[in-house]
Amino acid sequence: MNFMYQEFLTSLGFGNIYRGPEAVGFQFKFTIPYYRGVWLSQISGGFMVKVDGVEYPLDKVSIKVQDRVIPWSEVDYSYDLFWPYGSYATVIVEKPGGLTVGLHKVEVGLSIRRSYMDEDPAVQHLYDFGDRRMQAPPPEAEKGSEEGSYNPMQPLQTCSLDMVLVM
Amino acid sequence: MEEKYILKYGFRNVYQAGRITGFQFKFVIPYYRGIYLSCLDEFSVKVDGENFSLNNVSIKIGERIFPWKEVDVAYDVFWTYGDPATVIVSKPGGLETGLHTIELGMFIRKSYIVWTDPEGIYDFVIPPLPKSELPDKDPRYGFQTFSDQLSLVI
Amino acid sequence: MNRKQFISTAAGVAATTVIGACRALGNSDTSPASADAFSRLPAHKVRRGVALYSYQQAIMCNRMTLEECFEEMNSIGAYGLEMMGQATIRDYPYPSDEWVRDYWNMIEKYEIVPWTYTNFHDKYLRKAGMTVDENVEYQTREFELGKKLGFRHFRMLIGFPINVMEKMIPIAEKMGVWMGLELHAPVTLDSKLVELVLGIAEKHPEAVGFNPDWGIFAKYPSELERNKQIEAGTLTREIAEYILDAYKKGTNKEAVAAQVKKMKPKPGDTAYIDRVYNSGRSTQDPKDLIPLLPYCKSTHGKCHYITEGNEFRDTEAEWEPGLRVMMENGYDGYVCTEFEGQRSYSMYDIDELDQVRRVQVIMKKILGV
């Protein structure tokens, strides 16, 4: 069953990436777990990629949106690249040799900065529901994000899917 | 779409010059490909248990409307896979606002069903039944029925 | 020789799977297929493909576009394309130039090889049937349409009138297209139908042949069907497993029926005996395909349920004997997966895309590519 914001991974396009005959990494796709498109930079708050329990450092990760490949370190500056609602983003992970043929458990976590969530504590007094937004993040969400970039208002939305890799 | 070949959207009364002349609903083909409209062989429309005569039924494909009696000769009209067809039923006054049960039945002539075997090369021919016994009776002969409950607003 | 000319050659077909494997990392350039890649080609010429029929629910529900189908085929290395004009072509039978141009752009982008056009010959457009001339006109248009999209093999479904096939031979020869009669269960390889068409194929091998459907090798009922019945409470797991086990061991049906009677069966349990024993009623031995293989240019890899988890097993048929026969007897072409299980169950019960990947894993392990 596809619950829109909970199951956003797909096995469509899951495969190793080859340079010549050698596998140099792998890729998989997911749709936006939200009801509209966002600028890519809006997801720079945190990201997590795990395959078969192994987490990949973000300096090995790039994200492809609209045919443009953005290394994780540049995502925060990609405020001119729109990720349209309903379209896939591709996660590209460098890993010499790629993944083996067969079943893999793929997990992804991301966080979307919403326009209606204020990050500046100074303005919060304008809204009388301000305090209710401040909730402690789930502990596992904190683990996967880069140090210093974690925003307490945006716990990672995570999804996990068992996918079959053919090549 | 899932198993819901009758669509929830587009169900409404049909208005002409301020009066309700009937109602309409949409469905997609319960098959894995599109067909020429003429291959739609048998058809039945029942709403809240009332069976409508095919004389009062038209089918709209794209922007073209075919009264049921013209469907049989519409062999140059292709009903595309996945595109909804609209069933238009004449019924002065239309249907009331609220929930209705729609039952739809159809038989599609399929090219690969072997009904006759003049060369004697198939050992799995489906013997033709008398026409009167065909629809509605035996799903093995390909008559499909669907029903769903839909809300009508206007 | 450009890429398109190259893939139309036999070597090109073989090399495509390797070239296609060279997906670029990010925006960096794809290196051309190296000599090394070519030297890895296996000796046989059996290649993997997908019939778009497999993704029908996803397409119908707008969850998968044609481009995404091609992308998915590329990412599993199944480059051979089989499609039905009547399910895929926008504005069939007269697609716009724009649609055709987009189609070719996608074919290029994802390195797809249009291989087989599944051809519904609608001889019942009128209730009373069509004249032979009308059928010839209809079929000629299908050839033209398929050819425009790069297909030279036409999978003619069972029921294609033999007299029309004969009329089409000179047209097919002139157009350079081939008609493969679908061999679909319960057709047997020693049937009159096969004998008749083999006679025609021997005289016109460029125009006529066979397109075997893997369903003829199916021996067992799908395990998903069994599991669904058990879940619904109409079938008892122990009894179902006993029946299937006994069937696999070759126990005769009467003995099984007598034993089941003692197990306090539900009506569904008793009915399952017939279901199991009938499932192999028209199973063919892959070896019997050998004499027909020179006339087979396309194969339809049907399946209904591959086991889930980390086990990759077709619950209805064994793939290895059939693929070995093809590998060892010079079959030169694609085996296009047709996953058909979505029609038997709710789409929530089964993931088409995952099932295609699973059967492709089975094939890849046997074929090596």
Distance from CA of C73 to the nearest CA of A (A): 8
If you search the block for the tokens 């443009």, which residue do you land on?
A: A68
In the three-class reduction of DSSP (H, G, I as helix; E, B as strand; rest coil), residue C206 is classed as coil
Chain A contact for C90 (CB, 8 A cutoff): no
At residue C6, the pLDDT reads 41
* Confidence class for position C101, pLDDT limits 50, 70, 90: very high
Pair (C261, C248) in one structural domain:
yes
Chain C contact for A85 (CB, 8 A cutoff): no
Pair (C122, C232) in one structural domain:
no
Out of B34-48, B64-78, C117-131, C180-194, least confident range: C117-131
Contact yes or no, C with A (3+ CB pairs under 8 Å): yes
Q: What is the average per-residue pLDDT within B105-125?
A: 81
Alpha-carbon Rg for chain B in angstroms: 17
Range of the domain at A154: 9-115+123-165
At residue A134, the pLDDT reads 46
Count CB neighbours of C323 within 10 A.
23
Q: What is the average per-residue pLDDT within A30-49?
A: 91
Pair (C247, C358) in one structural domain:
no
Pair (C306, C358) in one structural domain:
yes
Asked if B112 and C87 come within 8 Å (Cβ–Cβ), the reply is no
Distance from CA of B63 to the nearest CA of C (A): 14
- Specify the higher pLDDT residue, C40 or C241: C241
At residue C40, the pLDDT reads 55
pLDDT at C19 over 50: no
* Confidence class for position A117, pLDDT limits 50, 70, 90: low
In a domain, A129, yes or no: yes
Q: What is the average per-residue pLDDT within A99-122?
A: 81
pLDDT in tens, C183-199: 998 899 999 999 999 99
Pair (C229, C310) in one structural domain:
no
Query: Please, what's the b/e burial string for C215-251 (b: 16 or more CB within 10 A of its CB; e: otherwise)?
Result: bbbbebbbbbbbbbbbeeeebbeebbebbbebbeeee
Domain total in chain C: 2
In a domain, A4, yes or no: no
* Confidence class for position C36, pLDDT limits 50, 70, 90: very low
Chain A interface, best mutation among C17, C18, C22, C25, by max A CB count within 10 A: C25
Pair (C159, C235) in one structural domain:
no
CA–CA separation, B49 and B47 (whole Å):
5
**Which residues of chain C neighbour A13 with C-beta distances below 8 Å?**
68, 71-72, 75
Count CB neighbours of B46 within 10 A.
15
The DSSP output letter for A8 is: -
Chain B contact for C347 (CB, 8 A cutoff): yes
* ipTM score: 0.74
Range of the domain at C253: 223-278
The residues, any chain, with a CB within 8 Å of residue C242's CB and separated by 6 or more, are: C256, C259, C260, C263
Domain end marker among C278, C303, C318:
C278
Q: In chain A, pLDDT over 70 holds for what percent of residues?
A: 73
SS (H, E, C) chain B: CCCCCECCCCCEEEEECCEEEEEEEEECCCCCCCEEHHHEEEEEEEECCEEECHHHEEEEECCEEEEHHHHCCCCCCEECCCCCEEEEEECCCCCCCEEEEEEEEEEECCCCCCCCCCCCCCCCCCCCCCHHHCCCCCHHHCEEEEEEEEEECC
In a domain, C1, yes or no: no
pLDDT at A133 over 80: no
Asked if C23 and A18 come within 8 Å (Cβ–Cβ), the reply is yes
Chain C contact for B123 (CB, 8 A cutoff): yes
Pair (C141, C242) in one structural domain:
no
User: Residue C18 corresponds to which tokens in the numbers above?
Assistant: 């390797």
Q: Which candidate from C31, C310, C348 shows the least CB-CB separation from A19?
A: C31
In a domain, C4, yes or no: no
Chain B nearest-CA residue for C190? B121
Q: How many residues does chain C have?
A: 369
Q: What is the average per-residue pLDDT within C193-213?
A: 97
Pair (C181, C273) in one structural domain:
no
pLDDT in tens, C350-367: 789 999 999 999 999 999
At residue A152, the pLDDT reads 44
Pair (C274, C289) in one structural domain:
no
Supply the mean pLDDT for chain A.
Answer: 81
Distance from CA of C204 to the nearest CA of B (A): 20
Pair (C295, C355) in one structural domain:
yes
pLDDT in tens, C153-164: 999 998 899 999
Chain B contact for C59 (CB, 8 A cutoff): yes
Supply the mean pLDDT for chain C.
Answer: 87
Q: What is the average per-residue pLDDT within B12-20?
A: 93
pLDDT at C241 over 90: yes
Chain A interface, best mutation among C55, C79, C352, C357, by max A CB count within 10 A: C357
In a domain, A89, yes or no: yes
Chain A contact for C76 (CB, 8 A cutoff): yes
* Confidence class for position C346, pLDDT limits 50, 70, 90: low
pLDDT in tens, C267-325: 999 999 999 999 888 899 999 999 999 999 999 999 999 998 888 999 999 999 999 99
Chain C contact for A21 (CB, 8 A cutoff): yes
Chain C contact for A10 (CB, 8 A cutoff): yes
CA–CA separation, A162 and A146 (whole Å):
25
Q: Which of B68, B75, B71 is nearest to B89 (CA)?
A: B68
pLDDT at B59 over 60: yes
Domain end marker among C237, C255, C278:
C278
Pair (C289, C214) in one structural domain:
yes
- Specify the higher pLDDT residue, A74 or C348: A74
CA–CA separation, C188 and C204 (whole Å):
22
Domain total in chain A: 1
- Which is it for strands B50-52 and C45-51: parallel, antiparallel or unpaired? unpaired
User: Distances from the Cα of A62 to the Cαs of A92, A112, C26, C29, C148, in angstroms?
Assistant: 5, 17, 8, 16, 38
Pair (C121, C246) in one structural domain:
no
